[in-house]
Amino acid sequence: FDLSFKARRRVGQLSFGDFLARVSLQDDNANAGNAELVPPQSWELELEAKKSLGKWGSSTLRLYDYRISDLVDIIPIGLTGESPGNLDGGRRYGLEWSNTVELAPLGFKGAKFDLQLALEKSRVTDPLTGIRRPISNTRDIGVELAFRHDVPRSDFAWGAFVNYNH
């Protein structure tokens, strides 16, 4: 069993394209650019627990809470314009649970399942409406299931993978 805790201060990076003005004739909108844009900064807390399941595999659970200031998001300007801009702050928190289950103890040598589950909540106060909403482009649920079989005494493997993200 392994337990770890991390507390860190992180300063994000901006893309050069965030500062540039762009026009999309197809979408009939304009991005005004923003020379005053600053990178997001966050305080990040993470707690991670790893447990070996012996010959059956392993399981890892990670809990996190990120408090973000100067969050970068798209801000509407005028009737048809928009630009990257800074919001006062936001929060992202959630969990990630990863599992590997080996099937060799059941007699299926070289086979395993990997399961990952991610649940996240985020919030920011919308600068136009004043209403709390999720941070743009964040995933609130993700599920991945993978099966893999490395055929014993050969160079062949096969498997299947399914996932769901929202």
Lowest mean pLDDT among 7-16, 22-31, 144-153: 22-31
Closest by CA position to 61, among listed 144, 6, 2, 101: 2
The mean per-residue pLDDT over the stretch 88-96 comes to 94
Q: What is the mean pLDDT of residues 116-132?
A: 91
Residues 44, 66 contacting (CB under 8 angstroms): yes
The pTM of this model reads: 0.80
Q: How high is the mean pLDDT of the chain?
A: 88
Give the other-Cβ count within 10 Å of 62's Cβ.
17
Model pLDDT, residue 28: 57
**pLDDT tens-digit series, residues 27-75:** 555 555 667 788 899 999 999 999 999 999 999 999 999 999 998 887 7
Q: What per-residue confidence (pLDDT) applies to 89?
A: 87
Alpha-carbon distance 78 to 142, whole Å?
Answer: 36
